[in-house]
Amino acid sequence: MSHDYTSLFIDGRWIAPHSTDVNTVINATTEEAMGRTPLGDAADVDAAVAAARRAFDDGRWSDLTPGERADVLGRFADELEKRAGLIAETVTAENGMPITLSAGANGLSGASLLRYNAGLIRSLPLEEVRPGFLPGEILVRREPLGVVAALVPWNYPQALAMMKVAPALAAGCTVVLKPALETALDANIMAEAAAAAGLPAGVLNVVPGGVEAGEALVAHPGVDKVSFTGSTATGRIIGATAGRLLRPVTLELGGKSAAVILEDADIDTAVADLARVSFPNNGQTCTANTRVLAPAHRYTEVLDAITDMARSMTVGDPLDPATAIGPVVSARQRERIEGYITTGRGEGARLTTGGGRPAGLDRGWFLQPTVFGDASNDMVIAREEIFGPVIAVIPFRDEDEAVALANDSEYGLAGSVWTADTERGTALARRIRTGTVGINGYRMDNAAPFGGYKASGLGRENGVEGLLAYFQVKSVLLPTA
Ligand code: NAD
């Protein structure tokens, strides 16, 4: 599989970049170059924002009826579905995501988000006449915000991009998408699908770039809203710029989520599911439940079951459907994770399985699924986002302590509660200060508002809330007489 792009998708065409720098995308499994894109610079961002600005300002998109826009989004979804296999395999090669996960999370998620938002916009009231508090009526309008800067990381590149692109386009906004350099190839496949679907020129533009392009885009005077997914450190920088410019911003950031296993849970079932919930995408998932809180009197049983589960996960070629754990995205990322494993050992946590590179896999940035027992919530490995296949199992005495431990985190993105009693689990979920909590599982649902408490972010994506984030609200005060 080789993808070589020498141009950028701007203004509905593939045009020569301003930048002469090249971004080489490396296959995480073979460590070989698998494709190239231009490495966009600030001038490329300028061209893309100008195209998006023209496309928004002349009304070629925002003046369409919601139904007309929804029809185009449906065609965009069709074109993505035609490319689902290619997209899934491309992302798996780029970032190491097991193909069984990538098939849905990359191959099909974009189309599904487009169809979901197309459905919402067909029935969302855009104008409403309300009685005033004073005499007279008020026309309340929802108007598209304008040009959207969408910046995304490499871990779920298609879904995370489309969680922004789909509602923005449905609302009538135009978009400049800046994918991460590691996953720039699949973003270009998304651009090809948009072009094939007949999306009007300039409505979606794609500029692969690094920090220079990202900073230029966030601060660009032609941008009306910034939507960012990535690390909390970068989110703080982007939030500061947005604050200075008084520019609306959505920030989807890091996490250190807790899985709370109550003593009435079926441990075998819970632990089998935690393979997916705690180690998704080789642990490179913002919602990964990397702190497992286990009742003290069943602690050994839970830890042993988790250790066995992790030990039995198949590590290998992520294109093989039998693989549960593929390589992490880069050599740098693997070194970072290994640094955390060293830290965990140093601070007294007990390694029960994993902790190193698997034997026999000399190419590719592989790591064994790793479990730390006898961990406490104040350890670095329980506080910082590792973003790799490493979890910590922490004991609790009672429900109050479980809630306190779950909430004792800088982050608040996701989490789960495992119990035989759904009502008890739901009551506990209400007490956890985090954006999403699963009961006996965890899943992303287009209809479930998604986002973070605390350092996990600002705002929500998905659900109707995710669509409303791309509108301004205007009140027209109708005459009183
Ligand atoms: P990152 O913050 O380094 O990069 C994310 C994106 O921002 C990339 O496109 C990058 O090029 C760009 N960028 C980097 N510095 C920038 C700057 N100063 N200005 C503008 N753009 C800049 O994140 P990463 O390490 O690539 O991704 C992993 C992180 O993303 C993890 O912390 C993970 O939890 C988080 N994440 C969050 C969610 C969520 O929905 N909450 C989802 C997935 C990943």
Assess contact for 459 and 451: CB atoms under 8 A.
yes
Rounded to the nearest 10 degrees, how much is the dihedral formed by the CA atoms of 218, 179, 8, 114? Answer: -100
pLDDT in tens, 38-70: 999 999 999 999 999 999 999 999 999 999 999
Q: Report the separation in Å between the CA atom of 231 and the middle of ligand 1, taken as the mean of its atom positions.
A: 4
Q: Which of 442, 446, 473, 474 is nearest to 462 (CA)?
A: 446
The pLDDT, as a whole number, for residue 3 is 87
pLDDT in tens, 103-131: 999 999 999 999 999 999 999 999 999 99
Helix (H, G, I), strand (E, B) or coil at 382: helix
| Ligand 1: residue whose CA is nearest its atom 31 | 231
Q: Report the separation in Å between the CA atom of 229 and the middle of ligand 1, taken as the mean of its atom positions.
A: 5
CATH code reported for the domain at 3-253+456-477 = 3.40.605.10
Beta bridge partners of 26: 33
| Ligand 1: residue whose CA is nearest its atom 42 | 286
Average pLDDT of the residues of the chain: 98
Phi, psi of 207 (to 5 degrees): -125, 100
CATH code reported for the domain at 258-445 = 3.40.309.10
Confidence of residue 2 (pLDDT cuts 50, 70, 90): low
Alpha carbon distances (Å) from 121 to 3, 69, 102, 205, 280: 35, 9, 28, 22, 31
Q: Which amino acid is at 12?
A: G
Assess contact for 312 and 319: CB atoms under 8 A.
no
**Pocket of ligand 1, candidates 244, 286, 385: which has the most ligand atoms within 8 Å of its Cβ, to mutate?**
286
Q: Which amino acid is at 212?
A: E
Q: Report the separation in Å between the CA atom of 172 and the middle of ligand 1, taken as the mean of its atom positions.
A: 26
Q: Report the separation in Å between the CA atom of 269 and the middle of ligand 1, taken as the mean of its atom positions.
A: 33
| Ligand 1: residue whose CA is nearest its atom 9 | 180
Assess contact for 250 and 227: CB atoms under 8 A.
yes
Helix (H, G, I), strand (E, B) or coil at 367: coil
Contacts of 134 (CB under 8 A, 6+ apart): none
Is 70 exceeded by the pLDDT of residue 223? yes
Is 80 exceeded by the pLDDT of residue 1? no
Confidence of residue 481 (pLDDT cuts 50, 70, 90): confident
The pLDDT, as a whole number, for residue 222 is 98
**Pocket of ligand 1, candidates 91, 94, 178, 231: which has the most ligand atoms within 8 Å of its Cβ, to mutate?**
231
Which tokens sit at 228? 């960012």
Alpha carbon distances (Å) from 356 to 336, 338, 368, 370: 13, 7, 6, 8
Which tokens sit at 292? 């497992």
Domain boundaries, the chain: 3-253+456-477, 258-445
Which whole number is the average pLDDT over 179-184? 98
Using alpha carbons only, what angle is made at residue 193 by residues 191 and 194, rounded to the nearest 5 degrees? 65
What is the CB < 6 Å shell around ligand 1? 151-155, 160, 178, 180, 210-211, 214-215, 218, 229-231, 234, 237-238, 252-255, 286, 385, 387, 413, 452, 457
Distance between CA atoms of 28 and 88, rounded to whole angstroms?
Answer: 14
**Pocket of ligand 1, candidates 94, 106, 151: which has the most ligand atoms within 8 Å of its Cβ, to mutate?**
151
pLDDT in tens, 376-391: 999 999 999 999 999 9
The pLDDT, as a whole number, for residue 241 is 98
pLDDT in tens, 286-299: 999 999 999 999 99
Q: Which residues are catalytic?
A: 252, 286
Which whole number is the average pLDDT over 245-265? 98
pTM, to two decimals: 0.98
Distance between CA atoms of 244 and 357, rounded to whole angstroms?
Answer: 45
Domains 3-253+456-477 and 258-445 share a fold: no
pLDDT in tens, 148-165: 999 999 999 999 999 999
Percentage with pLDDT > 90 across the chain: 99
Assess contact for 152 and 124: CB atoms under 8 A.
no
Ligand 1 nearest atom to the CA of residue 217, by list position:
20
H/E run at residue 226:
strand 225-229
pLDDT in tens, 429-439: 999 999 999 99
Percentage with pLDDT > 70 across the chain: 100
Q: Report the separation in Å between the CA atom of 289 and the middle of ligand 1, taken as the mean of its atom positions.
A: 19
The pLDDT, as a whole number, for residue 411 is 98
Assess contact for 259 and 274: CB atoms under 8 A.
yes
H/E run at residue 351:
strand 350-353
Which tokens sit at 253? 């950031």
CB atoms within 10 A of CB 125: 8
